[in-house]
Structure 1
Amino acid sequence: MLMASPIVLRNLMERYETLRAVLDEGHADGSDRTEGADPAVRQQLQDTIYTLCVSTGTREIGAALAAARGRIGAVTIDAFAADPARDASAA
């Protein structure tokens, strides 16, 4: 399976969170977030959810976010462990 770049995943997650926050504004009472929302924002959110799911090989946003976080974390840990400069400076 092709793996999305951690940078792409991070950008998609940030975009999702931003769009979700826009839709959440003024709906702290638990009412429908999409009611009365700008149709363009709703479409952008749906497109972002779709892209996150495809990029992570999942079918729902919760699983996509978890997979993206895992991929970003795994790459960060691997990069840290493989950096000889960090190993030398730690000695």
Structure 2
Amino acid sequence: MSQTVLCRKYQQELEALPFPPLPGEKGLEIQRTVSRKAWEEWQAHQTRLINEKHLNLLDPQAREYLMEQMERFLDNRDTDQAEGYVPPKA
């Protein structure tokens, strides 16, 4: 059976990440407080931001921007959106 975590995005007990998604203490914090579902949603959103805004991940400012957007996304605050992106209909 999978481990669960109280997800900070959904405020529910959901499936936990199997390992820290980032190195160091930040990765451990995310593993303890973010569900697999929320992390996968963040990864999709992050990919759209990288592609739409042509971010260079070698640029420290781009990485800092993504970390800020990640925190906002996981805390259910407004985030930047990829212009022209239309989410699929459920």
TM range (shorter): 0.3 to 0.5
Q: Which has the higher contact order (CA 8 A, sep 6+)?
A: 1
TM-score for both structures, normalised by structure 1: 0.32
Larger Rg: 1
TM-score for both structures, normalised by structure 2: 0.32
Higher strand share: 2
